[in-house]
Structure 1
Amino acid sequence: MTAFSSTVRAEVTPVPLTLTHYDAETLTLHNALHRSRQPLTFGWHGRSASLYLMPEAAEVTADMTVAVCLGNEQLALSASWRTFDHLSEHPDRRRSMEDVDAELAAMWLEAVWLAWLEPLEATLGVDIRVQPADLHGRTANPIHITLAFELDGDVHPLRVGLSAATAKHLLPLFDRYFPTQPAMASSVMVMLSLMAGAQTLTLGEWRSLRPGDVVMLESFATSDDPNGATLNVGDRFSVGVSLSADSVCLKGPLTSLTSSQASNPPFENLMSEPPVDNPNLDDLPVRLTCEMGKLEMSLGELRALGEGSVLPMQRRPEQAVDLIVNGRCMGHGRLVMIGDSIGVQIERLALDEGHAGDE
């Protein structure tokens, strides 16, 4: 006999999530500005310098903040004294930025940056001024960018705060001087399928098949290469290969697949047909492909493939192949010759289970 104690109802206080908050209206601009980008390189008093995007969470020492006014708009620029000393370098400067008042520091920066500001004024069609930031009266900027000013191998971070309107105004310039550079994502894994041949059937024809039946295939072999097959990458790309006893050799680079070549047949034409009272689903097209195995590799390895590349083969051509119907394994078979053509003899089907499983 099991005894139960009396139920005790406890008061549970929800704990608010401490998540980073992004305003929905500025999120698109935030993402556009924070895409992976190429650095801007330039000469700085006879030395090579660069400016590039850093992670938003990078630590920035805000010893000093100035406002860069773009007509009626403005952005806030914050950095350490050391960073501003490098950004204000000039042969005539005698004191550190830390040793002068805010008004003089802003005037000096505007004078030193004049060669940059004048072209920007012409492009934006506004007057640009540098002035001390009003840290008490200014409104909070919802968008922030962290940049790195690199000089002689030393990195000097600075934080840029701007409104959504200013960010939208400056985004085309940002795209021009800091072109996007998408990450290679070389460690992402992709699956390659080795295909011996394919055939388009109707659903009715597929349903009528039984073990022992033979289906003629549109072979990937040719008279020049009777051992030809193809590697399929995500139903988007493919490359012809030549089979050997335990490997495949690529015959060229990856090429894009057309919709008719993909494992899933196109249904655009069916969608344009007028509605019928009693649709005959047996007329639906299905794409049968014979898969000799799969190979997983990283995007970095995939990009390195080219004509002559050799990859290991999991399964010899005379062994069982998987019957892939509209992208799903629905049975097993064995490749056979039909005269000079190639076909597949059905060995096992899974018409109702949805997948054939492994034997």
Structure 2
Amino acid sequence: MLRDTGAHFGTGCGGASIVTALAKQPDAQTDLTERLSRPRTPIACMLAERSILLCVGEAFSNEDAITVPVRIGSQACELHLSPALVAWLQEPLGLEGALVDEEPPQRALLLELASLDLLRLLEKHLGQDIRFGECAEADTRVAVDLAIAAGGRSLALRLELTQPLAEAWADFLDRIQPPDLSGLAAELVIEAGSQDLSIDELASLRPGDIVMLASQRPTAGVDGKLVAPVRRQSDGFELGGGFAPRARRAMVGSLQGSQNADSGDAEHILHVVFEFARTTMTLAQLDELKPGQHLPLSCTDETGVDIVVENRRVGRGELVMIGMGMGVRIVHLLPAAPMWNSQTS
């Protein structure tokens, strides 16, 4: 910061490392029920010696359902079959009577026999044996509704799996059919620059103070993970190159973490970003951006920037040249006391 004749260029500017992988990891907080019921393309496989499509997320009715205890490895589960599906599975067995009329142990054994082709495939993927008719109480079960599409008919069933097996099933579905992320929203931010400041420095900022920028080149950032150069135009910005992983800053903490720190941690570092503009785009729209393309946001103020800390706008500033460097003069700060003030009281 520049105040009177003193100058401070921020701390924690060096030691950056490059993020080598930006692949979006599955959100651990994503609701398991949502993952299990997410629309999926039907899965082609064999069941009862016939080609079928396994459809995920079909609504199941418990009315007249046949319940079969199932053990997968050491975990107790249940299978609920519609009478129509039981009759369909019975066809290759050549039984004289109706399978639904058999005693539960015999019925389970015959259903396992009719389903061997699919069960062997599942056992290979799971690495565990599957046995019908062996039962025990499970602590918690998660319902998975499915349907068998065969011969123009939809035959419903429900699996009640333990939590670990339900998560393994969801992981399997996500692996063979990754969720479509193209419609997810991301923040495209045009940055004039940034600087890392301590909590004390942030709390002491006043209108007229100047914060020097670590870089003088404007960039476009996506959710803080990707960055690309931009060029200033009369009516906004154009993309100056492709997106690449953003360098991860060393020594820079979070505001939340600083609130949990001891009172002596006044030198805890926060990242301050100076933004020209921002907009929300889908990942599909971002994928379509090409170098030289005009970015879809308006910015007519050539020097005005928002002062942002952890995605929270805390004030307004203007770009100024200081010798060979670029800085931001604080124009005003929001009247609400910043959260970090409590750290210096």
Place the TM-score, normalised by the shorter chain, in its bin: 0.5 to 0.7
User: What is aligned with 1:192?
Assistant: 188
Deviation at 1:354, TM superposition (A): 3.6
Structure 1 pair 197–148 and aligned structure 2 pair: CA distance change class (3 A): same
Q: Is 1:53 paired with 2:56? A: yes
Deviation sequence 1:22-77 (CA, Å, 0-9, x none) = xxxxxx9976994759664313578642324326x643543433344668875433
CA distance in 2, matches of 1:231, 1:188: 18
Asked if the contact 1:47/1:152 (under 8 Å) is kept, the reply is no
User: What is aligned with 1:20?
Assistant: none
Matched AA of 2:299: R
CA distance in 2, matches of 1:241, 1:313: 13
Q: Is 1:235 paired with 2:238? A: no
CA distance in 1, matches of 2:72, 2:311: 55
Asked if the contact 1:333/1:345 (under 8 Å) is kept, the reply is yes
User: What is aligned with 2:150?
Assistant: 151
Asked if the contact 1:66/1:130 (under 8 Å) is kept, the reply is yes
Asked if the contact 1:334/1:345 (under 8 Å) is kept, the reply is yes
Asked if the contact 1:253/1:305 (under 8 Å) is kept, the reply is no
Matched AA of 1:192: L
TM-score normalised over the length of structure 2: 0.63
Structure 1 pair 218–29 and aligned structure 2 pair: CA distance change class (3 A): closer
CA distance in 2, matches of 1:176, 1:316: 47
Q: Is 1:350 paired with 2:313? A: no
Structure 1 pair 258–33 and aligned structure 2 pair: CA distance change class (3 A): closer
Asked if the contact 1:48/1:151 (under 8 Å) is kept, the reply is yes
Deviation at 1:182, TM superposition (A): 6.1
User: What is aligned with 1:128?
Assistant: 131
Query: Secondary structure of 2:44's partner?
Result: strand
Structure 1 pair 280–314 and aligned structure 2 pair: CA distance change class (3 A): same
CA distance in 2, matches of 1:249, 1:261: 32
Structure 1 pair 336–43 and aligned structure 2 pair: CA distance change class (3 A): same
Matched AA of 2:272: L
CA distance in 1, matches of 2:31, 2:310: 39
- 1:311 pairs, out of 288, 295, 299, with 295
Query: Secondary structure of 2:248's partner?
Result: coil
TM-score normalised over the length of structure 1: 0.61
Corresponding pairs, count:
301
User: What is aligned with 1:12?
Assistant: none
User: What is aligned with 1:13?
Assistant: none
Asked if the contact 2:242/2:291 (under 8 Å) is kept, the reply is yes
User: What is aligned with 1:289?
Assistant: 273
Structure 1 pair 256–70 and aligned structure 2 pair: CA distance change class (3 A): same
Deviation sequence 1:103-129 (CA, Å, 0-9, x none) = 775554333223444677797676834
Matched AA of 1:155: S
Alignment gaps of 5+ in structure 2: 1-29, 339-345
Matched AA of 1:252: G
Deviation at 1:147, TM superposition (A): 1.8
Deviation at 1:321, TM superposition (A): 1.6
Asked if the contact 1:52/1:149 (under 8 Å) is kept, the reply is yes
CA distance in 2, matches of 1:352, 1:127: 65
Deviation at 1:245, TM superposition (A): 2.3
Query: Secondary structure of 2:238's partner?
Result: strand
Please give the residue correspondences for 1:1-359 in structure 2 after superposition, counting only pairs within 5 Å. Answer: 34=36, 40-44=43-47, 48-54=51-57, 58-68=60-70, 75-90=77-92, 93=94, 97=98, 101-102=102-103, 106=108, 108-117=110-119, 128-129=131-132, 142-143=140-141, 144-152=143-151, 154-161=153-160, 164=162, 168=164, 170=165, 174=169, 178-180=173-175, 183-184=179-180, 187-202=183-198, 203-204=200-201, 207=204, 209-211=206-208, 213-221=209-217, 229-250=218-239, 251-260=241-250, 279=264, 281=266, 283=267, 285-302=269-286, 304-305=288-289, 307=291, 309-316=293-300, 318-325=302-309, 327-346=311-330, 348-350=331-333, 353-354=336-337
Asked if the contact 2:48/2:117 (under 8 Å) is kept, the reply is no
Matched AA of 2:61: E
Deviation at 1:295, TM superposition (A): 0.8
Query: Secondary structure of 1:78's partner?
Result: strand
Root mean square deviation of aligned Cα: 4.8
Alignment gaps of 5+ in structure 1: 1-27, 222-228
Deviation at 1:241, TM superposition (A): 2.5
Asked if the contact 1:230/1:240 (under 8 Å) is kept, the reply is yes
Deviation at 1:158, TM superposition (A): 0.3
Deviation at 1:326, TM superposition (A): 5.5
Deviation at 1:292, TM superposition (A): 0.6
Deviation sequence 1:335-354 (CA, Å, 0-9, x none) = 234455433334x2227644
Query: Secondary structure of 2:302's partner?
Result: coil
Asked if the contact 1:147/1:158 (under 8 Å) is kept, the reply is yes
